[in-house]
Chains A and B, each alone.
Chain A
Amino acid sequence: MGWETWIITTFSRSLAYGTPLLLGTLGEIYAERSGVLNLGVEGMMIMGAYSAFTTAYITGNPWLGILVAAVVGGAFSLIHAFTSVTLKANQIVSGLSLTMLGLGLSGMFGRGWEGKPLPATIPKITISGLSKIPFLGPILFEGQNLIVYLSILLVPLLWYILYRTRIGITIRSVGESPATADSLGINVDRVRYMCVLLGGVLAGVAGGYLSVVYRPAWTEGMTAGMGWIVIALTIFAFWNPVYGMLGAYLFAALYHLSYRLQPWVSPEFLKAMPYAFAILVLIFVSRGTLQKRMGAPAALSLPYTRGEE
């Protein structure tokens, strides 16, 4: 395979595989920015994958499947929001239990669905004019699909909302200093619910994409730890949607390359990279000013109760 083709294929596959990573990360970024750590992403993704597949199979409509996945992911996340924000319970344990539940439920119900072929999936899109652009053309405009494009468009949108609108300022204040936000009349709980919900919806769609578009097929446990990569990615992205996009495609490329580069670099090494990177990033931002500049939202994973002055 010529070099050119090799690069194009790599990038093209990275785009495809990176899309669910991107969607999950965008959602988790918003949840964590509001101060809630959602370790249930893996569970929401797999439930999204399962519900999307079965819906698409039964109705023959892949888009309906994706929609149902979004709803299911959202519903799961509301449970997490309830325990974390309203009951103010331990967010870590809540998220873990939802992941266990998600993996268990999907594995349980999904037993009969393995190996079934999906009658229809969303169409591949090739834009003939644009696909002639050297390099970028074949990567971006040949054989991708609507969800890939939508997810790319989500990035500037979510970036803009987070950094340039009132909503974004509100979200960031809730995650950094909920007491201050509360004293200015902001409803901290409501903001957190909304952000966690967004995270769940996007995680569900990510899972649905996997089972309805990327494969398409259903296998038990098919998310294969993607949810945990999302957690790592959120940190790697410094909680910024744009870096999240770069990171998602980078990690997807690493995954794709892990098989390609097998003769030279061990695939396990590449697969472990995302996790190691996340720790390195955390170390990097741990020093004083860097923490404030690019670090985690200060109130992350801490439940907020209004105290007496």
Chain B
Amino acid sequence: MKRRVGFKVERRPVASGRVVFFVSLLAIFAALVVAGIFFRIYGVSPIHAYQLILRGSLGSRFGLTETVRRVIPLLLCGVGLTIAFRALFWNIGAEGQLLMGAVAAAGVALFSGLPGPLLLPAMFIGGFIGGATWGLIPAILKVMLGLNDVITTLMMNYIAIYFVEWLIHGPWKGPTARGFAYTDTFPRAAWLPTIYGTRIHWPTLVLGLVLAVVMYIMVTRTRIGFEIRVIGENPDAARFAGISQLKTTLIVMLISGGFAGLAGVGEVAGIHMRLLGPTNISMGYGYTAIIVAWLARRNPLAVIVTSLLFGVIMTGGDVIKVSLGLPFQLINVFNGLILFFLIGSEILLRYKISFLLRR
């Protein structure tokens, strides 16, 4: 009697939630394994390293606060990006939108002359507008002229970076210390309150959590959320149903850019209390948020979890640098690996491999 083992590959019509979750875990696991190889190269046991990271970022008080501090901008940007991605608008420009939000907040803090209690709310509003404007420009270009959203948002990032550089070296220049340029410190009233002894500017955190929930409700329960989902799934049917691509795209980028702007406000008003060089304000939050949103499968609530994961990872970078003497860059490698395995694993979502045992 002969036994034949083979497998057949067939197209999977729809991937259930369970499969998606499992595949995402698989991607993360694959990244952990490959990163583990790099740990080995440095003579460190990967298990040991991962334990250290978890303990360092979640186990100690300091580590936890550092993690949460990083979660805040990831959360805000990530939620905004899930909305953009749902409408198939590839917003690679969260980094620039974050910076423009920071600029607006700094402008309000330093020059608006508003009375104390009004300062912080005004900064948030200004930051939202700043980020939203920066996001609306590529949106308008896409809807009116058909310009590629990836390229325009990407280019806008660099324009924003140099704009910030110009401000801090030029018109908004404050005291310079050892070659670093930054603006004057914000007035006290423009400082976000933080949890005692930490750098967690909790109003922004609360804002992020609230917005995550609000966006989830919007996507699942409102008309505009429905329209966004239809456009993202089948633009032809959207046209058929009379849904306006123009209006929806603009709203989506208003939100996505605005949220990134809010993240920028948080950073300058909660952590630095001044406008700094762009790479000091954002350690690639805008780009990491892309992975956060992708891993969350465009679900705003899930972003709460995935942003926490990446907060842990980013803090983990500090941990391995300090405790193990390993380069921080390993974290970027890890992020790159996760993203890579995520998209690579999507093929598992599209096709089902079943094993056949034939006698």
Contacts and interface: CB of A to CB of B under 8 A. Distances in A.
Interface in A276-309: 276, 278-279, 282-283, 286-287, 296, 300-301
Contact of A279 (B155, B170, B342): B155
B290 A271 contact: no
A248 B343 CA distance: 33
Interface in B247-266: none
B147 A89 contact: no
A296 B145 CA distance: 13
**Max chain B C-beta neighbours (<10 A), residue from A94, A96, A98:** A96
A80 B335 CA distance: 16
A87 B333 contact: no
B155 A93 contact: no
A64 interface: no
Contacts of B165: 268, 271
A268 B336 contact: no
Given A108-B330, A286-B146, A286-B147, A266 B166 contact: yes
B24 interface: no
Interface string B179-202: 000000000000000000000000
A228 B154 contact: yes
Contact of A104 (B90, B334, B342): B334
A300 B329 CA distance: 32
B344 A103 contact: no
A79 B145 CA distance: 33
A262 to B, nearest CB: 10
A190 interface: no
Interface residues of B, number: 43
A104 B332 contact: yes
A275 B158 contact: yes
A282 B334 contact: no
B343 A83 contact: yes
B89 to A, nearest CB: 12
Interface in B5-20: none
Given A83-B344, A101-B340, A286-B145, A231 B151 contact: yes
Interface in B309-333: 327-333
B150 interface: yes
**Max chain A C-beta neighbours (<10 A), residue from B92, B166, B333, B342:** B333
A5 B151 CA distance: 38
A261 to B, nearest CB: 14
A231 B92 CA distance: 14
Contacts of B162: 268-269, 271-272
Given A92-B92, A300-B148, 16 more contacts: A39-B150, A83-B343, A87-B343, A89-B343, A90-B346, A94-B343, A97-B336, A98-B336, A99-B336, A100-B336, A101-B340, A108-B327, A271-B162, A271-B165, A275-B158, A282-B147
Interface of B: 38, 90, 92, 141, 145-148, 150-152, 154-156, 158-159, 162-163, 165-166, 169-170, 287, 290, 294, 327-337, 339-340, 342-344, 346-347
Interface of A: 37, 39, 79, 83, 87, 89-90, 92-94, 96-108, 111, 220, 225, 228, 231-232, 235, 266, 268-269, 271-272, 275-276, 278-279, 282-283, 286-287, 296, 300-301
